[in-house]
Chain A
Amino acid sequence: MSEESTKGEVHVVHLYPREMSIYGDLGNTRAMVSRLTRHGYSPVLHQHHPGAPFPEQAHLVLGGGGQDSGQARVEADLEVIAPRLSELAAAGTPMLMICGMYQLFGNAFVTVEGKRLPGLGILDVTTQGNAKRMIGPVVLSTDFGDVVGYENHSGSTRLGSGQAPFGTVRSGFGNNGEDQTEGARTGNVVGTYLHGPILPANPAFADALIGYAAELATGRPFEPGTLDDAFADQARTRQVRRLVG
């Protein structure tokens, strides 16, 4: 498709697809690229690997969960690109960070042994490692309606005093299993523990992120196309019914 026949290019950056995309998180990138196309935009996907230069254009940034070994492999690069990520976040660039990357976007991760590993501080959250794993299906109430997914994390996350959560837990553990909060949201940056993957089954949330990205990329308001989300709506509403009645 030529540039003229679309509503414009949108640059999508997937952070560390090899190291940080476990539990189907690649599906989020797939969903964004596919939905942008179906909305009539031209997505340009950048896979950002450790050590590579950060792409010049970035209208939407995605990151996933990883194993401890994967996390260790990206820490040095994350330090290098941190100023750029903070700058993009401040400029309203939508970002979705899942699980491990959500933790790294926070202030710090404190290990079981008490060691404090600093994060990017884009989200005002602090995660405490613990022995108990929080695993299971989740239903949230969010600004984007009901959101379903699956959590699998041992870190227990607390929000800073002014930090908004991504959603309120209706079923599942959420950030810590105690305060009913799940994830964190600052501007257009969202961190969450939800795999599933989260975007295919929750198209309203996916399209909100796409909307911010499209506006940033084109300077015009988001011009959505008409998408058939019947399967996604069935999948989501059935999970909500199963888990919260």
Chain B
Amino acid sequence: MLRTSAAIAAGKLARAVARRRGGGSAMPGLVAERIDPKILGHALGGLPGGIVVVSGTNGKTTTTRMLVALLRAHGHSVFTNPTGSNFTRGVISALLGEVGLRGRPVADMAVLELDEAHALKFADAVTPTHALLLNVARDQLDRFAEIDHTAKLLAQLASRTSTGVVINRDDSFVARSADGVKTGVRVDYFGVDASIAHRLPELMEQDTRLDDDYVVPPAGAGDVLLKPRDERAFDILLGADGVGGSVGPVELKQRGLAAMINATAATAMARQLLGGSFDPVRAASALASVTAPFGRGEVIDADGAPLELVLVKNPAGFTVALSTYGSTPVRTMIAINDNYADGRDVSWLYDVSFESLRTIGVALTSGVRAYDMALRLQYDEVAVDAVEPDLAAALDRFLAARDGQPARIFCTYTAMMTLRRILAERYDLPAFGEEATS
């Protein structure tokens, strides 16, 4: 325990320094991990309510926030990694803020979002009791190379989970993970009701989903299904046709089908964790109260008119973002960087259809690959008014010409960090990672 205490003390110091500098969220975790590689196991092992890992390509941050809100609404004290720093070091960094030197967080459960590879690294240190597997899409190719490989990582996570897994029944790549779970581990599914199954293709990458032999099985009593009422309101059916009741109607603060599916996934996991104490009324109000995470449709009041920042990082995510926001066209800017955290290959822009932007066009493209983005739009016959690679200059031009109208910026990760920093200075916003806790 002495080593853990030393690691935590050093990590806490690094965290204090990093926060004063407004810097990254993973560095303090790195410091603590260097001193005590087993720090995660010591700090998290044996939380009575369980250790839940949320993984998959898209929607981790949103789903994690929703699941935490659901569990807190049912009276649980939940430790989570709230900054979207979904590597193990990010988890350790988050822990450092909440533990005493003995290393135990003041919580009875942990809900952690981890990307596919780090989820396995985490499982090396601590066995997850529960895993929520969202989806597989092409993302960060420099890291994972192939989508088949990513699906295998999720299946391994499922096989190393001790108590229960919740799996996306509509994603053939993910649904197969059920085959490898240990005997006695409970498996539940989330998905969409048959009435909207035809809309799933807009969320998935067509090119990589081969028309293979996978058929979505009939829904069982443990399955949790999304059934929208309209563009904003929806119900979550517990069991096929709602035999076990339903949650809703719910209206989320975040728009779009993808967010509704995230809410369904979180509800399925909460129901598995809470069992008989799951309360549909509490669940509905908890989901409705969840605010959009940073960069997932965050709205900034910029000189009295809303400015929306939307993070895009892969074809499926960009396609979802366009279908979510495309129905209400507003003045648009797209900022594409190709640093490591963005994914260095911009080929993926050709796997997204931008036709929905044709009616209003794009006011500006920006970022290191501003001209590649403009070229991509040209091939979809979307008019581009201007190209300005410099993000600060582009933001100035974009805001100056908008005439008090709402506006939206689609941006890759590092472009968003830069834009967010400029906007934070101008409009006195909380710094990244300093979001109010819900």
Contact = CB atoms under 8 A, between A and B. Distances in A.
B350 A200 contact: yes
Contact of A133 (B145, B347, B351, B378): B145
B178 interface: no
Interface of B: 138, 141-142, 145-148, 207-208, 210-211, 338, 344-351, 369, 371-372, 374-376, 378-379, 384, 387, 389
A200 B375 contact: yes
B347 A27 contact: yes
A195 B349 CA distance: 12
Nearest to B348: A24
Given A22-B138, A152-B145, A196-B347, 11 more contacts: A25-B350, A31-B379, A68-B148, A69-B148, A133-B145, A135-B344, A152-B141, A195-B345, A197-B347, A200-B379, A231-B384
A200 B372 CA distance: 9
Interface string A15-28: 00111011111110
A116 interface: no
Given A152-B345, A201-B375, A22 B207 contact: yes
B348 to A, nearest CB: 6
B200 to A, nearest CB: 17
Nearest to B141: A152
A9 to B, nearest CB: 21
A76 interface: no
A234 B349 contact: no
Contacts of B374: 231, 235
Contacts of B351: 24, 26
A68 B146 contact: yes
B347 A70 contact: no
B208 A201 contact: no
Interface in A44-94: 67-70, 73
Interface in A92-139: 133, 135-137
A235 B145 contact: no
Interface residues of A, number: 34
Interface of A: 17-19, 21-27, 30-31, 34, 67-70, 73, 133, 135-137, 150, 152, 195-197, 200-201, 231-232, 234-235, 238
A231 B369 CA distance: 11
A69 B145 CA distance: 13
A73 B62 CA distance: 36
B207 A26 contact: yes
B375 A18 contact: no
Contacts of B387: 231, 234
A167 B389 CA distance: 29
A67 B379 contact: no
Contact of A150 (B147, B208, B211, B347): B347
Contact of A135 (B142, B146, B346): B142
A78 to B, nearest CB: 16
Given A24-B348, A68-B146, A150-B345, A231 B210 contact: no
Nearest to A149: B347
Which 8 pairs show the lowest CB-CB distances between chains A and B? A27-B350, A24-B347, A24-B350, A235-B371, A231-B375, A234-B371, A23-B347, A150-B345
A231 B345 contact: no
B210 A19 contact: yes
Contacts of B141: 23, 152
A136 B344 contact: yes
28 contacts: A18-B211, A22-B138, A22-B207, A23-B345, A23-B347, A24-B351, A26-B207, A27-B350, A27-B376, A30-B350, A31-B379, A67-B146, A67-B147, A68-B148, A73-B210, A137-B344, A150-B345, A150-B347, A195-B345, A201-B375, A231-B371, A231-B374, A231-B378, A231-B387, A232-B375, A234-B371, A235-B369, A235-B375
Nearest to B380: A30
A148 to B, nearest CB: 10
Contacts of A70: 210
Nearest to B208: A22
A31 B207 CA distance: 17
Contacts of A133: 145
Given A24-B349, A30-B350, A231-B378, A150 B344 contact: yes
Interface centre among B146, B207, B338 (most CB of A within 10 A): B207
A98 B318 CA distance: 25
Nearest to A34: B379
A197 B345 contact: no
Contacts of A231: 371, 374-375, 378, 384, 387
